[in-house]
Amino acid sequence: MSFLKYKTYIEEGDLVIAYMTRENMTPLIIDSKLTYNNKFGTFKHSDMIGKEYGTKAFMPSHNGRGFMYLLHPTPELWTYVVPHRTQILYIADISFITTYLDLKPGSLVLESGTGSGSFSHSLARTIAPHGHLYTFEYHEERAKAAKQDFEEHGLSDLITIDCRDVYKSGFGITDLVSAVFLDLPAPWDAISSAKAAFRQRRIGKICCFSPCIEQVQRTCASLNENGFVEIKMFECLIRNQEVHTIPVYTVKDAVSKIKTQQDKKRKRREQEEDPNHTTKSQPRQDPPNLYVSKTPTEARGHTSYLTFATFLPVLDGEEVIK
Amino acid sequence: MTMKTNDGHGFVILLVDATQFILIGRKIAYVEAIVTFDDISTLSESSKETEGTKMQSDESKTETSINDNMDEEIIKEEEEEEDDFHILDNQYIFILLPSGNIKVIKLQKDTKVSLGKFGTFHANDIIGKPFGHSYEIHDRDKVKVIRNIAFYEIDETDANNKETTDDPSKQKLSYADIEQLKKDGLEGQDIIKKVVESHSTFDKKTEYSKAKYIKRKEAKFSRVFTPVKPTLYSVWEYFYAKNPSKIRDMRIDTLSQMLTLANVKAYSKMLVVDDTQGLVISGVMERLGGYGVVIGIHDGENHNFDVTRYMNFSKKVSDSLMVLSWQQVFKEECQEPFNFRDEASLSEKELKFYFRSKANYDRIRATRELLFKGGFDGLLIASQYQPESILDTLMPYLHGSRPIIIYHINKEMLVNTCVQMRICRKYLNPSITESWLRQYQVLPGRTHPSMSTSGGGGYLLHTTYVVTDDSLPTPIPSYMRPKVDIDPLDDATHAPGSSKNANGPPLANVDTLTMNVSDDGYKNAKENSDINDDADSELIWNKRSKLE
């Protein structure tokens, strides 16, 4: 249950994210009989038991020079380590969607497709303890793998996963959810079925996640035809800012740099001429430092377009979709 | 957009939210014709005024501090099934006006709500209705549900705007004429219809221009309003449009990232330093859902988490918030002692006051105890104060492997903190990110990014607190540790093999690690920027293999 509830100390059977570097993380399920090996060395699981989460674990075998951090699992870390990765959602999108769909403990949500189940983890975290996620995946192997992950992570009470082709057979859910998230190649083919899934007498929000603008246009047309209102489309990104410290030299420093070089030459000459000759070089002053930041040369420029719309509650006397 | 007559009376109109970030059309189709000839001017001036002042006083009340009456409100609120999908009595709602402005009101049953020039309606007419629909005011103060639609397909025509000139004489109706129409009892779409009919070259406009023209008239004459459900998004939208500096210019995508990065969820114990009028606190409280606790640390003596009350939190959720001032956070600052008195000796009035201050004393004591006990699951900071000083004060109360998220609209404030975090090694991979958001207009044939947008969403410094056990061997062997007296400009120390370090073999770049350890190595920070992020162990590994 550690995805849903924080723990302080590592115990047998816990999921731990072993963090070597940002690019190198591994999920470990603690089993005192096992040993974990990586290029930094050998770690006994039994040595990790009883440690506080977040502890820097050192390997005795390498004179304590190799180490890793034992991190508490979070949906965001899981995104980095999920073994059967498909296209994953980025944190900017995850965050914005969660807020826009007004998700909180108790929300009932529909997601399609499940993919690697990484966004499902984020959703389950937010809607716990009494919300529910209905997630759909047409790829049988992926659905199985995701289902297994949900079970291992204690999320099966919160997530119902269904393997089906939602274009053909719809979601098979009516009058139930308040939020829908569609990450499908052709969301417009699933919108009418999604409409029926909404709690019919309440307001609801839908988000369609598509990388191409042509998909967005077709989605908007379909949302409009299906009576959704307040169609809004966003793009969001996170830009990294690399922090550096740079020395601030003045032109005087440039002059003294030349002088130093000249001094050196002169010294060498003088020493060649007279080996006993010594001159004291002037100690140089450190320039003041400046903390600066810059954006990386190459950065992510696009993830997907987020198309949002509002489901309008059915009015008295209107037909409820069954 | 083509003007399509639905049934001979009403016609399709276009209403575009003109608020800062809502640029996509929200059009409204009339379910049925609404023809009203009641003279709206018969609405007595006096009643208008009373409504007006009432609204004003309500508005001004929202500006004042809420410390005391919030508690009372919470007590009044009864345990009921959480239903935030319907418009309820005694709750805050936002009202989207035809002009695109948003108004906040506290809905009270059996009262009238004035929307200024857009009219007045009875609160009872919308209480109990689901959120989502729009209403049109007709017959003075009656309301009618409007079935919204997103947009109509626009038929391309051969028209162009060749004839469009800036000539007011094309509009045959004068201001006085329109005022007369209003006096004659014409309302909303009827006036717009008349205005359009009186425009001599309206037909020559392109369909797009027609739509824009109607949209403009709509903002002026329509009497359609939309009750908006208070959500984190809509509450933010209101405050951001009204006074962004009050919420420290925090944009919703940045706030959302804070909540995600901080892994805010049920059953957590969060620490929040909030100088955003309670916006961050509101987000955290909502995501806790009443399961868990958040300590909000506020500036000044009394908290001013104004935003929280617009969220219509249930008692359960409201109870998860505990507050402390900065003074109360410090252990050495003792709590002002409480003067316990004999309750029997007090008059009823004094007793009321006594119980109140006693409850306050107990609350502060309990909150302080909770804080000092520590073991918090995350720290969110959106404060005017120096982040390092906040971290120094609050870090002891955090568990390991828990997130720290610091927001600031000025990156410069965070850069220094980021450098300090790298030096002290209690923080895993501290990084600064900037949030970027762009909204698009998606209309058939007219899809493009919004013409105006917010210039920036602010910056986040985020990291994970890690536990370093001092009893364990240090990760950097002593001979690899930089010498404090290294002169980064002295060429001699840089030359390979010339290290005077007697404790170990010479190192090619002995000061590559200084970025992580001391202030001395900044000269080399630039060239080693790729390694000072997080790859400590990798770096050491590489060093090791180089050595061997």
Write the pLDDT tens digit of every residue in B309-322.
999 999 999 999 99
Q: How does residue B15 score in pLDDT terms, banded at 50, 70 and 90?
A: very low
Stated as kind and residue range, the H or E segment containing B68 is helix B67-76
Whether B72 shows a pLDDT value over 90: the answer reads no
Whether A258 shows a pLDDT value over 60: the answer reads yes
Q: Which of residues 138-177 of B touch A (CB under 8 A)?
A: 145, 147-151, 153
Q: Is the dihedral of CA B262, B267, B270, B276 positive or negative?
A: positive
Whether residues B384 and B408 fall in one domain: yes
Return the CATH superfamily for domain A77-237+301-311: Vaccinia Virus protein VP39 (3.40.50.150)
Whether residues B193 and B283 fall in one domain: no
Whether B446 shows a pLDDT value over 80: the answer reads yes
- Which of B95 and A65 is assigned the larger pLDDT? B95
pLDDT value at position A44?
Answer: 87
What are B17-28's pLDDT values in tens digits?
322 222 233 333
pLDDT value at position B165?
Answer: 67
Q: What percent of chain B has pLDDT over 90?
A: 44
Q: How does residue B222 score in pLDDT terms, banded at 50, 70 and 90?
A: confident
Query: Known binder of ligand: residue A183?
Result: yes
Query: For the ranges A79-83, A295-299, B439-443, B512-516, which has the lowest average pLDDT?
Result: B512-516
Q: Which two tokens stand for residue A179?
A: 């939020």
Whether B292 shows a pLDDT value over 50: the answer reads yes
Average pLDDT of B514-534?
36
Whether B54 shows a pLDDT value over 70: the answer reads no
Domain boundary among B198, B227, B256: B227
Q: Is B509 within 8 Å of chain A by CB?
A: no
pLDDT value at position A150?
Answer: 95
pLDDT value at position B169?
Answer: 73
Whether residues B130 and B240 fall in one domain: no
- Which of A142 and B168 is assigned the larger pLDDT? A142
Whether B65 shows a pLDDT value over 50: the answer reads no
Q: Is B131 within 8 Å of chain A by CB?
A: yes
Q: Is B290 within 8 Å of chain A by CB?
A: yes
Whether B185 shows a pLDDT value over 60: the answer reads yes
* DSSP code for B300: S
Whether residues B497 and B459 fall in one domain: no
Domain A15-73 has CATH 3.40.50.180: no
What are A109-156's pLDDT values in tens digits?
999 999 999 999 999 999 999 999 999 999 999 999 999 999 999 999
| Cβ contacts of A230 on chain B, cutoff 8 Å | 24, 26, 148, 150
Q: How does residue B50 score in pLDDT terms, banded at 50, 70 and 90?
A: very low
pLDDT value at position B80?
Answer: 41
Whether A270 shows a pLDDT value over 50: the answer reads yes
Q: What angle do CA B291, B296, B301 make, to 5 degrees?
A: 145
Query: For the ranges A4-8, B79-83, B253-257, B446-450, which has the lowest average pLDDT?
Result: B79-83
Q: What percent of chain A has pLDDT over 90?
A: 73
pLDDT value at position B160?
Answer: 67
Whether residues B429 and B493 fall in one domain: no
Amino acid at B37: F
Whether residues B206 and B314 fall in one domain: no
Stated as kind and residue range, the H or E segment containing B494 is helix B491-494
Whether B476 shows a pLDDT value over 70: the answer reads no
Residues B221 and B194: their CA atoms lie apart, in Å, by: 11
What are B200-214's pLDDT values in tens digits?
777 777 777 777 777
Residues B302 and B307: their CA atoms lie apart, in Å, by: 15
Whether B444 shows a pLDDT value over 90: the answer reads no
pLDDT value at position A278?
Answer: 66
The 10 Å Cβ neighbour count of residue B465 is 20
User: CATH number of the domain that B328 lies in?
Assistant: 3.40.50.150
Domain boundary among B440, B465, B490: B465
Task: Write phi, then psi, for B229 (nearest 5 degrees).
Answer: -70, 130
What is the tally of helices (H) and strands (E) in chain B? 16, 18
Residues B1 and B14: their CA atoms lie apart, in Å, by: 9
- Residues 6 or more apart whose Cβ sits within 8 Å of residue B276: B246, B247, B248, B250, B307, B382
Is the Cβ–Cβ distance between B266 and B272 less than 8 Å?
no
Indicate whether B81 belongs to any domain. yes
Q: Which two tokens stand for residue A253?
A: 């420093």
Number of domains in chain B: 3
Amino acid at B287: R
Residues B133 and A312: their CA atoms lie apart, in Å, by: 7
H-assigned helices in chain A? 45-48, 75-81, 91-100, 118-127, 140-152, 166-169, 191-197, 213-225, 251-273
Q: What is the dihedral of CA B223, B227, B233, B237, to 10 degrees?
A: 40
Is the Cβ–Cβ distance between B141 and B124 less than 8 Å?
no
| Cβ contacts of A291 on chain B, cutoff 8 Å | 415-416, 418-419
Domain range list for chain A: 15-73, 77-237+301-311, 242-261+284-299
Respond yes or no on whether the N-terminal peptide bond of residue A129 is cis (omega within 30° of 0): yes
pLDDT value at position B69?
Answer: 44
Q: At what angle do helices B232-242 and A91-100 cross, to 10 degrees?
A: 100
Q: Is the dihedral of CA A223, A225, A227, A230 positive or negative?
A: positive
Indicate whether B1 belongs to any domain. no
Whether residues B345 and B388 fall in one domain: yes
Q: Is B479 within 8 Å of chain A by CB?
A: no
Residues A169 and B328: their CA atoms lie apart, in Å, by: 60
Stated as kind and residue range, the H or E segment containing B321 is strand B321-325
Half-sphere exposure of B64 (CA within 13 A, CB side): 10
- Which of B469 and B296 is assigned the larger pLDDT? B296
pLDDT value at position B162?
Answer: 67
Residues B312 and A102: their CA atoms lie apart, in Å, by: 14
Average pLDDT score over chain B:
73
| Cβ contacts of A234 on chain B, cutoff 8 Å | 437-440
Query: For the ranges A105-114, A219-228, B335-344, B471-480, which has the lowest average pLDDT?
Result: B471-480
The alpha carbon of residue A145 is apart from the nearest alpha carbon of chain B, in Å, by 24
Task: Write phi, then psi, for A13 (nearest 5 degrees).
Answer: 90, -10
Whether B335 shows a pLDDT value over 80: the answer reads no
pLDDT value at position B163?
Answer: 63
Respond yes or no on whether the N-terminal peptide bond of residue A131 is cis (omega within 30° of 0): no
Whether B479 shows a pLDDT value over 50: the answer reads no
β-pairing, B134-138 with B224-228? antiparallel
Is the Cβ–Cβ distance between B541 and B507 less than 8 Å?
no
What are A171-189's pLDDT values in tens digits?
999 999 999 999 999 999 9
Whether residues B156 and B245 fall in one domain: no
- Which of B511 and B362 is assigned the larger pLDDT? B362
Query: For the ranges A93-102, A191-200, B441-450, which has the lowest average pLDDT?
Result: B441-450
Residues A28 and A34: their CA atoms lie apart, in Å, by: 10
Is the Cβ–Cβ distance between B128 and B87 less than 8 Å?
yes
Q: Considering CB atoms only, which of B435, B436, B538 is closest to A21?
A: B538
> Could you tell me the CA-to-CA distances from B547 to A47, A115, B429, B508, B510 in Å, in that order?
29, 45, 26, 9, 12
Q: Which of residues 54-113 of A touch B (CB under 8 A)?
A: 54-56, 58, 62-72, 74-76, 91-92, 94-96, 98-100, 102, 104-106
What are B409-426's pLDDT values in tens digits?
999 999 999 999 998 889
What are B351-389's pLDDT values in tens digits?
888 889 899 999 999 999 999 999 999 999 999 999 999
Query: Known binder of ligand: residue A225?
Result: no
Contact check, Cβ <8 Å, B439/A202? no
Whether residues B313 and B350 fall in one domain: yes
The 10 Å Cβ neighbour count of residue B293 is 20
Whether residues B372 and B331 fall in one domain: yes
Nearest CA in chain B to A23: B535
The alpha carbon of residue A175 is apart from the nearest alpha carbon of chain B, in Å, by 14
Average pLDDT of B468-479?
50
Q: Which two tokens stand for residue B414?
A: 């965070």
Nearest CA in chain B to A283: B490
Domain that holds residue B75: 13-227
Q: How does residue A26 score in pLDDT terms, banded at 50, 70 and 90?
A: very high
The alpha carbon of residue A7 is apart from the nearest alpha carbon of chain B, in Å, by 9
Q: Is the dihedral of CA B394, B397, B400, B401 positive or negative?
A: negative
